Amino acid sequence: MIGLGLDDADKAELVARYCAEHAIKKVFVLSPAKFRLALEGPVEHIEWAEVIKYKFYYRLLQEIDGSVLVVVNECLRTQNRNDLTYNCIRHFLYQTSHQMVFQHLPLIDQPDDFMILVDFETKSRWKREKLRPDILSECRIDVRPVPLDLHALPVATDEKTRLAYAAKKRELIDSLGRKDPHTIPRNLYLMSGKAKLRHVTPGQSYIGRNNRFAIEQMKTFKEDAYEHGPHVVFELCHSFIDFADFLALSRQTRVDVLVADLKVDRWYFDRYAAWKGRIADAYAAIRQ
């Protein structure tokens, strides 16, 4: 089965029930370390980065059989369906008919990303296909949509900041050469930081790319846990995967974002608003 939007307690309950109903002798959980599941019984956890290592890969191919349940937990890490780690996971799943696939959100960037999870569920029978309702009819899917709600908190900048922004933009464009064009928004986005600093409220939790202003209760998008939420976004991260991890770990659904009156701030907010729309499109396609 594929479970979307389940919390850890739901996942643990489903695994325990499945093991009891199918006389499972052992569970292998494949997962990034920060999403480690607390499960009872004979369980072995294999961290995402370890899956491709020979000492795990060949042993698991020998040990996984019809009495083993493989749990693929929060392993949607790249959009490349031919990724080496995905291929290793698929080989594990060929050894048993018992698998459970858990993911907080149905995509990384595009609705077709969901087909990576479908590959796990269907033993890659539709590996070269795009997301289609007729394919999904062959999957067991438990969908609990994440009601993501983004809110912009306006931040005014001064004339000095706007002039510096214009100069920096010109500099970045002139020196771009063969570099990634996203270098420009990544760098420009940092320029509204001092203006946002004036809107920081004592006691409020924040999240940003880094903590260069030494803000109390500031987290970054690379943390393993997010206590003391909800968190206000000081700056959005560029990577959708990092933001998806934050949502999965914090279970936060309403996200307030500080948005300065610079074009790059609006570009980032609109970029995430469009991403939210693609998540809604994915849910709609999955539930047809």
Largest Cα span, the chain: 69
Instruction: Report all structural domains of the chain as residue ranges with CATH numbers, in order of start.
Output: 2-143 (3.40.50.10810), 149-286 (no CATH)
The number of beta carbons lying within 10 Å of the beta carbon of residue 22 is: 13
pLDDT for res 177? 83
231 neighbors 249 (Cβ within 8 angstroms): no
* Rounded Cα gap, residues 162 and 159, in angstroms: 5
User: What are the tens digits of pLDDT across the range 240-262?
Assistant: 999 999 999 999 999 999 999 99
pLDDT for res 128? 86
Query: How close are the terminal C-alpha atoms of the chain, in Å?
Result: 17
pLDDT for res 271? 98
User: What are the tens digits of pLDDT across the range 182-193?
Assistant: 899 999 999 999
Beta-bridge partner residues of 46: 30
213 neighbors 193 (Cβ within 8 angstroms): yes
Q: Which residue positions in the chain have pLDDT lower than 50?
A: none
Kindly state the tokens that stand for 29.
């959980």
- Angle among Cα 199, 181, 109 to the nearest 5 degrees reads 75
Read off the DSSP letter of residue 109: S
Three-state DSSP state, 246 = helix
Name the residue among 90, 102, 93 with its Cα closest to residue 140.
Answer: 102
The number of beta carbons lying within 10 Å of the beta carbon of residue 27 is: 23
171 neighbors 35 (Cβ within 8 angstroms): no
pLDDT for res 58? 97
Give the predicted TM-score (pTM) of the model: 0.95
